[in-house]
Amino acid sequence: MKIGILSLVLGRNYGGILQQYALKKYLESQGHQVVILNRQPNESNFIKQTLREMLKAVGMKRFNTFPRKEPNLQSFIQREFQVTAPVSSSKAFKVLCRTENIDAIVYGSDQIWRCEFERHYGLDYFGVSTPVTIKQVAYAPSFGLDTWEYSTQETTQITKSFANFTAISSREESGVSLIKNYLHYDAVLVCDPTILLTADDYSKIASKPLQSKPYCFVYWLGDKETMDEVVNNHLQEKGLDVISINLRTDYPLSSIEDWLSYIKNAEYVITDSFHGTVFSLLFHKQFYIHCNKSGGFSRLETLLKRVGAGSKLINPNIEIDYSVINNRVSEFRSHSQSFLNQALSQ
């Protein structure tokens, strides 16, 4: 079966890239051919983005919000993904699905259903423009926040479109509830695609250790001032070197392979990132989570409770007993793989 993955544009985000990589690798392991459907923002929004990029280039930092291309990340994307030609309208997306001879579309994961993002794509992440002859599965999409922000008209469109889906799931308990309460569909809770693979799978692509001395790896999405404060508060007695990656800086980012290596070989991890937490769990790291509420906290809450690490939500400093966590992660993975396999076989 030829499957198209429809997720956020591959760009300057480790979690966003790796969740699509994991979903692709798992689907390929089941014998499917996989292509990434390159749905760009609608043309009117694209013009606005281009203008903002121009203003950013002349030093207006207020517009420094759109991701630039990173050579170290692009090399991984170009090597690992088959990506279609870009399209920037619902009409063009419908044509793309037909010309690519797509048999099924898997929507997800990441925050593809977050209202402020989705409105740039004409509700295409809800399948409103997908030909009804194509099988449709929602795998672990996220609304990002715990509140329903779509209009009555948009809600009606989404509800109608859901009738064409074979199966629908979400990454968060709050997402399952939103789908039930507003779209009247009983969605299934599944794991983020990154958990479909194991630590061994990621070790195969991770770089060799990049630091000889013991270190703490800091992966941060929020502002640097808060990061520095958190790091200083938690490393005073550990005596570790610090290696950090902050997505808000202008420094070139490390490669995917190096990012994985930094987590795998760290003595300790500090992060405010969902995927920073996921990979800390997969690589059996002790870690500290800082709640970055602007990115939504329900995804972390759902994950930690589901794998038996809910105590982290009460005491972020508590150490994790991985003899307990491992079985719970494996069960969650198996449950989610079964959901995806069954949905695509119907």
For the chain, list the domains and their CATH numbers.
Answer: 2-197+333-345 (3.40.50), 199-328 (3.40.50)
Band of residue 250 on the pLDDT scale cut at 50, 70, 90 = confident
Q: Would you state the pLDDT for residue 49?
A: 54
pTM: 0.91
Position of tokens 């003899």? 323
Range with the poorest average pLDDT among 55-64, 124-133, 163-172, 256-265: 55-64
Distance CA 94, CA 221 (A): 34
Region 25-34 average pLDDT: 98
Give residue for tokens 């030093």: 59
Q: What is the mean pLDDT of residues 158-176?
A: 96
Residue 238 has pLDDT above 60, yes or no: yes
Give one word for 320, left, alpha or beta, with left for phi > 0 and alpha for psi -120 to 50. beta
Flag whether pLDDT at 329 surpasses 70: yes
d(CA 124, CA 161): 10
Report the range of poorest mean pLDDT among 68-72, 96-100, 287-291, 293-297: 293-297
Q: Is the pLDDT of residue 150 over 80?
A: yes
**Of the ranges 82-91, 292-301, 313-322, which one carries the lowest mean pLDDT score?**
292-301
Q: How far apart are CA 222 and CA 227, in angstroms?
A: 7
Q: State the pLDDT at residue 71.
A: 86
Q: How far apart (Å, rounded) are the C-alpha atoms in residues 156 and 191?
A: 27
Neighbouring residues of 23: CB distance < 8 A, sequence distance ≥ 6: 5, 7, 106, 108, 109, 139, 193, 196
Q: What is the rounded CA–CA span in Å between residue 261 and residue 264?
A: 5
What the block records as the tokens of 176 is 């399952």
Label residues 45-66 b or e (16+ Cβ within 10 Å = b).
eeeeeeebeeebeeeeeebeee
78 contacts 67 by C-beta, under 8 angstroms = no
Decide: 99 and 91 in contact? Cβ < 8 Å. no
Within 10 A of 318 (CB to CB), how many other CB atoms are there?
13
Q: Is the pLDDT of residue 230 over 80?
A: yes
Predicted pLDDT of residue 65 = 39
Percent of the chain at pLDDT exceeding 70: 90
Over 90: is that where the pLDDT of 291 sits? no
Chain mean pLDDT for the chain: 90
Q: Binning pLDDT at 50, 70 and 90, where does residue 60 land? A: very low
Could you tell me the pLDDT band of residue 296, with boundaries at 50, 70 and 90? low
Whole-number pLDDT of residue 44: 66
**Which residues lie below 8 Å from residue 102, measured CB to CB, with a gap of 6+?**
2, 3, 4, 35, 37, 134
Tokens linked to 180: 């039930």
101-131 per-position pLDDT tens digit: 999 999 988 899 999 889 899 999 999 999 9
Q: Is the pLDDT of residue 61 over 70?
A: no
pLDDT at 67 over 80: no
- Find the mean pLDDT for residues 231-237: 79
Q: Which stretch of 11-25, 96-110, 267-281, 297-311 has the lowest confidence by average pLDDT? A: 297-311
What type of residue sits at position 233?
N
Q: Is the pLDDT of residue 159 over 70?
A: yes
Q: In the numeric block, which tokens belong to residue 300?
A: 């972390």
Does residue 295 register a pLDDT over 70? no
Contacts of 120 (CB under 8 A, 6+ apart): 41, 42, 45
Asked if residue 252 lies in contact with residue 201, where contact means CB atoms within 8 angstroms, the answer is no
In this predicted structure, the answer to whether residue 51 has a pLDDT above a threshold of 80 is no
Query: What's the pLDDT at 233?
Result: 82
CA torsion, ordered 230, 15, 171, 24, to nearest 10 deg:
-160
Average pLDDT over residues 157-175: 96
